[in-house]
Amino acid sequence: MKPDRLGDFSALACAVVCGVGNVVLKIGLADISPELFSFYYFAAAFALSWFLLFRREWRRDILHARPKVIGLIGFLSLLFSFGIYTLISSVKLINPATVSFLSRLEIIIVIILAYLLLKERLHRVEIIGGLIAVAGVMVLKFHATIDVSKAATLMIISAFFFAVAEIAVKRYVDHLGTMRFIFYRNLFTVGIFYIVLKVSGQSLTYPGHKTVFWAVLAALLLPILGRATYMEALKRISISRAALINQSTPLFTVLFALLILKTIPAPIEWLGGGMIIAGVIIIKLTVRKPSGVST
């Protein structure tokens, strides 16, 4: 298989994996609070990340990280924790397909922040695409059900925190290291959500085998396989092409939600979600140096 075709396949695999992962999150949240699920989700991710220590070069990279780098990863973990918490809270409220539509808003906020903080140029077509996507968010925010409106607010907050984290990652990417970042981010995030549980007055109870199973599966699909397939795509094709293919994630989420949960977005959710994806695709087809997205 040619490198570009393999890259396209890897990007599409990422979209499929994340589509399944969004549905798994919804199932796992059925009988548990977002705070407690988030703790077990990242506890599972951290347990899985211990396998990184089996390779000598990764173990050396992780264990010999400088304190400043670890501190930076700790700060980024805090940003990602806010983003993930609001995303999971949104999944708790509504159809995971609609959440997946709303998650595309992160691209718009990354571009705006890159313009404001990194002085990157903002082209006319990017502005048009951004306005279309924002209009889609407004449709979901003000013309859908109350639950969808609340979830849209949560996803706007989530997209902001993810976007700020991505800007920081982009700025300091040479100092972070992929495997080092994965390992320490999972470690810090477990501690952050333990604190969140204590502050919210919730006890660290065992939610049952089924819920833990879904948390482990979600951790395997989203931060592990999702990130791995996306990185494989970036090795073979441009960030622009990989990110464009990755915009199909909401469609796979819709498909798996229909097959597994027997749910499908309402017409107004299709309209708002379609506008968001259309706006992002317009941007991705024209921007020369787009920013990557996280899983």
For 14-62, what is each residue's pLDDT tens digit?
A: 999 999 999 999 999 998 999 999 999 999 989 988 888 888 888 888 8
Report the pLDDT value the prediction gives residue 279, as an integer from 0 to 100: 84
Rounded CA gap, 29 and 33, in Å?
7
Structure tokens at 239: 């960030």
For 108-144, the pLDDT digits (tens) are: 787 777 777 766 676 777 788 888 888 888 888 887 8
The pLDDT, as a whole number, for residue 137 is 82
What are the tens digits of pLDDT across the range 224-253?
Answer: 788 778 878 877 877 667 777 887 888 899
What is the pLDDT, as a whole number, of residue 293? 40
Structure tokens at 164: 């700020």
Angle, CA 292 vertex, CA 246 and CA 231 arms, to 5°: 70
Residue whose C-alpha is closest to residue 294's, from 214, 176, 128? 176
Instruction: With beta carbons less than 8 A apart as the criterion, state whether 176 and 126 touch.
Output: no
Q: What is the pTM of this model?
A: 0.80
Query: Hey, where are the domains in the chain?
Result: 3-286
User: Which uninterrupted H or E stretch holds 185?
Assistant: helix 178-199
Task: Give the DSSP H/E element, type plus range, for residue 105.
Answer: helix 105-117
For residue 178 the two structure tokens come to 């992929």
Q: 295: pLDDT confidence band, cut at 50, 70 and 90?
A: very low
